[in-house]
Amino acid sequence: MHEIRTPAETASPRMEELARLPVFFALKGRRVIVAGGRPAAAWKAELLSAAGAQVEVCAISPGREMREVAASPPGGRIVLNERDWRENDIVGAALAVGDFPDADEAEKFAAAARAAGVPVNVIDQPDVCDFAFGAIVNRSPLVIGISTDGAAPVFGQAVRAKLEAMLPRGFSAWAGAARRWRTAVKASGLPFEARRRFWQLFTAHALRHPDEDPADSHYEALLADARGQAAAAQAGSVTLVGAGPGDPELLTLRAVRALQSADVILFDDLVAREVLDFARREAKKMLVGKTGYGPSCKQDEINALMVALAKGGRRVVRLKGGDPLIFARATEEIEACRAAGVAVEVVPGITSAQGAAARLGVSLTERAAARRVQYITGHDRHGKLPDDIDWTSIADACATTIVYMPKKTLGDLADRAIAQGLDPATPAVAVANATRASERAIAAPIGAMAEALARTHLEGPVLVMIGRAMAGALAARDPQHASQHVAG
């Protein structure tokens, strides 16, 4: 008898420890003091000028780089004072930046800045800094800062280079358009949900067409679309989203967008908690899971909650492990939404079998060994082996069979399939927690797999893959340690 569980809200995960607090200073028109004239100080002066600061440089002998950037500043003016810095220079400044080869001079500058209540940075001396300059990806007004807390600057630069390659330069124009249009959207008369829909449409268009130049025609078209969808936005909706087998990097882009626009997320026990990190922090997260032979929410209760939330105007994401259309009761939830007149859509996900096979480095089909793949469930709604399995298809030597949730029934399943002609020596692999850090896998002939499962006590969701395509699967993944994984 299953223990009955009621849907329960789950608190958003608390922020983990930060080495640095990422903040963005508004410096336009504000005075910033830079002490030092070497190339590193020149780069900081240029950066501060680009942010709109009025930069005052104090240096007895400014170098060539400093003179060049002062002569042609990218933003705010740069004034050169060819003398040493003084404490009065710092008073009233927004920031103070120093470049000193001498540690005592650095300490003196930092102490003067703190006495004046001015945040201070001393280049390459993190111990006396109140703030740090990180690596920057500039798509202004979209700006991304990267910090390693001084631990690995080369690593930070590598991350910056990767982001530079990923982010089209056209994002700068679209971010600028967002800044121009924000006031107009607020004054458009659209209700809150429709305004949010405008920005979702805006974002989707910018991501698809980053190299287009944003024009008034884009604004009018997006506003008209948002206005046309206002009624639907107020009515609420349900989206069934596949969370994949566990590794959050296997989420689809569409799944991430759904999570980031959701008001409420109803999620299963099989969903890795790291996946919820992609959701809006403001979204309510409710555990409505069902566990094999453990505490479970009633499906009718989940359906009713989902529909009620959507009818209350909420954008509901029903988050399911793997793919929502494979052994996840999607039909019942879709029908409940349609019967209630609630808009419903499905975002497919990578199912556990695909994730497990990818981690093993094996194909589920092979021209010579496996001409088809079939998914079956290892238990019915009462927790027993289903009576309506096509045993002839399971015995087919040219099929790869994936059995979901088979821990309690695999012995009976193997016995009946073998009785129908399945070779007991057919290779099989059992995988628990596929694609997660806690993943474990064992290999054995199907005739011995139930015993191997019982002996190894695999924890978490398990699936078993049966077929000639599984021959040598674990050895292919980890040849040096294959014997540690192989059972039977």
Active site residues: 268, 290
Number of helices (H), then strands (E), belonging to the chain: the values are 18, 20
Cα–Cα distance measured from residue 174 to residue 304, given in angstroms and rounded to the nearest whole number:
41
Q: How far apart are CA 10 and CA 13, in angstroms?
A: 9
CA distance 354 to 135: 37
For β-strands 264-267 and 315-320, DSSP reports them as parallel
Tell me how crowded residue 24 is: count the other CB atoms within 10 A of its CB.
Answer: 8
Indicate the pairing of strand 54-58 with strand 31-35.
Answer: parallel
Q: How far is CA 117 from the centre of its chain?
A: 39
Cβ contact 251:244 at 8 Å: yes
Nearest to 468 by CA among 397, 373, 392, 413: 397
Q: Look-up: residue for tokens 């980053």?
A: 210
Report CA Rg, the chain. Answer: 30
Query: Between helices 330-339 and 299-311, what is the axis angle to 10°?
Result: 40
Provide the b/e sequence for 43-79 (b: ≥16 CB within 10 Å).
bbbbbbbbbebbbbbbbeebeebbeebbeebebbebe
Distances (CA, A) of 114 to 26, 93, 133, 144: 20, 11, 18, 27
3-state secondary structure of 428: strand
Query: What is the residue-wise DSSP string for 172-236?
Result: HHHHHHHHHHHHHHHTT---HHHHHHHHHHHHHHHHH-TTSPP-HHHHHHHHHHHHHTHHHHHH-
Best CA proximity match to 159, nearest among 146, 169, 150: 146
Question: 238 in helix, strand or coil?
Answer: strand
Q: Helix or strand or coil: residue 41?
A: helix
Distances (CA, A) of 313 to 176, 222, 240, 306, 343: 31, 22, 17, 11, 11
Q: What's the one-letter identity of residue 167?
A: L
Which residue type is seen at 459? E
State the angle between helix axes of 171-186 and 216-228 in degrees (0 to 180), rounded to the nearest 10.
50
